[in-house]
């Protein structure tokens, strides 16, 4: 491809709407363009990257035993009613009404559809296991689309669904898909880490995410400095510091004028924050919930939401708190009635806590669970933080930023039961099909690759997914010798099945070099009057600062092909 013919131009200025590095660079490199909030067009350079990623994914899914198909983007709402999952997606679900007044859904995911398809075709255990996948557009009405391709309303996704007669078969496929995912990211040249994860609206029991580690990542990964434990911060667990259990003392009411925060209360009473209990008020699907946790910890709202099986969880407003008779800054579960109380299990690790007295400017000392108060639910609802202790080995937990690019789930049977997908086992007994789900956000992976691979000059594509392998830069194209040598090399490289973007424009060296760095193609070849004087071509890898000269001779194409092959292997 010649740059003079390429659709999509580079930009010098950072687009005003671009709020992430990948968004800025992909737009400036002429690879994507925003059409509306969270809706993008892919231009040829960006589409080439996307297709390379798709092909790597496709090959690994095929190797793992997957069969590719295509499911409809528009789905009948009745399937979502049967599954009962539409409240979980809430307003993110795009819906429409057709001319016959039937309600339809623009698919945010395809579990319902694929389960219905399999229901119609699988009859016996002999038809299982079955692995079906597609690479398809999805739609979610994100409330705040941002980050370019990282959080959008229309996106391309690979999803594979597996169907099994027993849990052992699902386990086997789950492990096979873990390896397939590791292969995908390794082949793309994108180092990733697998972490324990929350299943979210999709549901299911066991779940793992694959993260690309990047300083600009929106997710926090908690990992152990000693063992292999790693989890999304939404899922991560900690070994909570044990506090010495002392003999329980009688409750004592104390005056705490204008003291409301945990740290201020602890300082005033001369105890550590771990000897206080913190109260936080939430609205869970409209119901007021009183959450209590030890004062040295913070509440993980995803864990709390899942525990409550809530569709929507938010902090209660000041008006809601006052209407319930709660005293912000001095609230506690002691004597509280008529409200759901959820507690972190840290309240059982300690004694003689300081808590609010449910009166303004008053607190209680020496409060103990369960002597002095009851709770409706007690579980782990604490947020893991760097410096906490690993539950597996007691090592120190650390944190780094990452971008989720893949997510796998053991769905189990809840969807197959609701949608009537069953099979006859060896004894002729009808049983629900056991399911797994395995997704990769293809456009998101493209953006994450840029977040992970860039510098101040532009994108640095890994060779395997770069739009072209080589950027052929001809300087002074008005020089007949340069034009002839560049044209000849362009054709020779193409005949050798190398992918070349030929910058044949009548532009300055600065413009061409800046564009080459911005677009991020791995290997730049430069032909100029200076290199021709030395009968050579300058070669420079995008990741390296130094360039070198190669003789302009018959074996040059073979040498470049060898360099590209060696670079691809690592």
Residue 565, domain CATH = 3.40.50.800
The region of weakest confidence among 152-161, 239-248, 294-303 is 239-248
Q: Which residues contact 566 (CB under 8 A, 6 or more apart)?
A: none
Q: At what angle do helices 556-569 and 480-495 cross, to 10 degrees?
A: 50
d(CA 171, CA 408) in angstroms, rounded, equals: 12
Tell me the mean pLDDT in the region 117-143: 96
301 pLDDT higher than 90 = yes
| Residue 326 shares a structural domain with residue 429 | no
> CB 171: neighbour CB atoms within 10 A?
15
| Residue 502 shares a structural domain with residue 472 | yes
Confidence of residue 371 (pLDDT cuts 50, 70, 90): very high
- Nearest C-alpha neighbor of 445 from the set 433, 453, 435, 434: 453
171 pLDDT higher than 80 = yes
Is residue 305 one of the residues assigned to a domain?
yes
Whether 382 contacts 234, CB under 8 Å: no
Is residue 332 one of the residues assigned to a domain?
yes
| Residue 560 shares a structural domain with residue 477 | yes
Is residue 89 one of the residues assigned to a domain?
no
d(CA 49, CA 191) in angstroms, rounded, equals: 17
Number of domains into which the chain is organized: 3
Q: Which residues contact 33 (CB under 8 A, 6 or more apart)?
A: 27, 40, 41, 43
pLDDT of residue 200: 58
| Residue 344 shares a structural domain with residue 491 | no
382-421 exposure pattern, b = at least 16 Cβ within 10 A, e = fewer = bbbeeebbbbeeebebebbbbbbbbbbbbbbbbbbebbeb
Is residue 46 one of the residues assigned to a domain?
yes
Tell me the mean pLDDT in the region 442-468: 97
pLDDT of residue 206: 84
pLDDT of residue 204: 56
| Residue 291 shares a structural domain with residue 365 | yes
201 pLDDT higher than 60 = no
Confidence of residue 61 (pLDDT cuts 50, 70, 90): very high
d(CA 254, CA 315) in angstroms, rounded, equals: 28
Tell me the mean pLDDT in the region 58-62: 98
| Residue 60 shares a structural domain with residue 114 | yes
| Residue 291 shares a structural domain with residue 192 | no
| Residue 182 shares a structural domain with residue 272 | no
| Residue 35 shares a structural domain with residue 171 | yes
Whether 54 contacts 444, CB under 8 Å: no
Is residue 543 one of the residues assigned to a domain?
yes
What is the 3-state secondary structure of 292-323?
Answer: EEECCCCECHHHHHHHHCCCCEEECCHHHHHH
| Residue 366 shares a structural domain with residue 409 | no
* CA-CA-CA-CA dihedral for 560, 564, 569, 570, to nearest 10: 100
Q: Could you tell me what percent of the chain has a pLDDT over 70?
A: 98
Whether 486 contacts 472, CB under 8 Å: yes
pLDDT digits (tens, 9 = 90+) for 279-291: 999 999 999 999 9
- Nearest C-alpha neighbor of 298 from the set 405, 217, 386: 386
Whether 59 contacts 66, CB under 8 Å: no
| Residue 129 shares a structural domain with residue 199 | yes
Tell me the mean pLDDT in the region 463-484: 95
Is residue 88 one of the residues assigned to a domain?
no
d(CA 444, CA 149) in angstroms, rounded, equals: 6
283 burial (CB, 10 Å; 0-12 / 13-18 / 19+) is: middle
pLDDT of residue 475: 95
| Residue 316 shares a structural domain with residue 257 | yes
Q: What is the pLDDT of the chain when averaged over all its residues?
A: 94
- Nearest C-alpha neighbor of 370 from the set 362, 358, 378: 378
pLDDT of residue 38: 94
- Nearest C-alpha neighbor of 194 from the set 428, 37, 405: 405
pLDDT of residue 242: 83
pLDDT of residue 53: 98
17 pLDDT higher than 60 = yes
Structural domain range at position 213:
17-73+108-220+399-451
3-state secondary structure at position 38: coil
């Amino acid at each position: 491809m010649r740059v003079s013919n390429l659709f999509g131009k580079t930009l010098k200025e950072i687009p005003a709407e671009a709020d992430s590095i990948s968004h800025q660079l992909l737009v400036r490199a002429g690879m994507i363009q925003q059409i509306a909030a969270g809706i993008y067009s892919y231009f040829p350079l960006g589409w080439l990257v996307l297709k390379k990623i798709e092909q790597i994914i496709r090959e690994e899914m095929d190797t793992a035993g997957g069969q590719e198909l295509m499911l409809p983007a528009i789905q009948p709402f009745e399937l979502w009613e049967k599954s009962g999952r539409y409240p979980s997606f809430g307003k993110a679900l795009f819906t429409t009404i057709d001319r016959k007044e039937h309600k339809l859904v623009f698919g945010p995911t395809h579990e319902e559809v694929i389960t219905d398809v399999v229901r119609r075709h699988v009859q016996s255990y002999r038809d299982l296991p079955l692995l079906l996948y597609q690479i398809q557009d999805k739609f979610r009405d994100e409330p705040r689309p941002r980050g370019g391709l990282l959080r959008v309303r229309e996106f391309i996704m690979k999803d594979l669904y597996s169907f099994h007669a027993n849990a052992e078969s699902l386990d086997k496929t789950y492990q096979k898909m873990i390896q397939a995912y590791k292969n995908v990211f390794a082949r793309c040249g994108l180092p990733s880490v697998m972490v324990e994860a929350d299943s979210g609206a999709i549901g299911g029991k066991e779940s793992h995410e694959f993260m690309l580690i990047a300083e600009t990542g929106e997710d926090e990964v908690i990992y152990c400095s000693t063992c292999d434990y790693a989890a999304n911060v939404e899922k991560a667990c900690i070994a909570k510091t044990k506090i010495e259990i002392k003999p329980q003392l009688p409750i004592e009411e104390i005056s705490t004028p204008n003291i409301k925060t945990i740290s201020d209360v602890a300082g005033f009473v001369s105890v550590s924050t771990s000897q206080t209990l913190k109260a936080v008020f939430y609205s869970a699907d409209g119901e007021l919930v009183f959450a209590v946790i030890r004062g040295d910890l913070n509440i993980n709202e995803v864990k709390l939401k899942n525990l409550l099986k809530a569709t929507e969880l938010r902090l209660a407003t000041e008006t809601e708190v006052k209407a319930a008779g709660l005293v912000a800054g001095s609230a506690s579960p002691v004597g509280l009635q008529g409200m759901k109380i959820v507690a972190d299990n840290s309240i059982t690790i300690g004694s003689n806590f300081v808590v609010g007295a449910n009166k303004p400017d008053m607190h209680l000392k020496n409060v103990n669970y369960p002597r002095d108060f009851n709770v409706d639910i007690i579980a782990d609802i604490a947020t893991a933080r760097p410096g906490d202790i690993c539950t597996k080995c007691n090592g120190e937990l650390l944190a780094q930023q990452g971008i989720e690019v893949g997510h796998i789930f053991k769905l189990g049977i809840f969807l197959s039961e609701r949608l009537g997908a069953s099979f006859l086992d060896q004894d002729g007994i009808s049983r629900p099909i056991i399911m797994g789900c395995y997704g990769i956000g293809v456009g998101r992976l493209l953006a994450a690759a840029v977040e992970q691979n860039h510098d101040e000059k532009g994108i640095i594509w890994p060779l395997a997914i770069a739009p072209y392998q080589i950027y052929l830069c001809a300087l002074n194209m008005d020089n007949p010798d340069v034009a002839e040598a560049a044209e000849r090399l362009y054709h020779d490289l193409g005949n050798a099945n190398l992918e070349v973007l030929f910058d044949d424009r009548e532009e300055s060296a600065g413009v061409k070099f800046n564009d080459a760095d911005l677009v991020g193609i791995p290997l730049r070849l430069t032909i100029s009057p200076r290199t021709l004087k030395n009968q050579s071509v300058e070669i420079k890898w995008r990741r390296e600062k130094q360039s070198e000269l190669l003789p302009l001779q018959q074996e040059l194409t073979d040498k470049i092909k060898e360099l590209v092959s060696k670079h691809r292997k690592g």
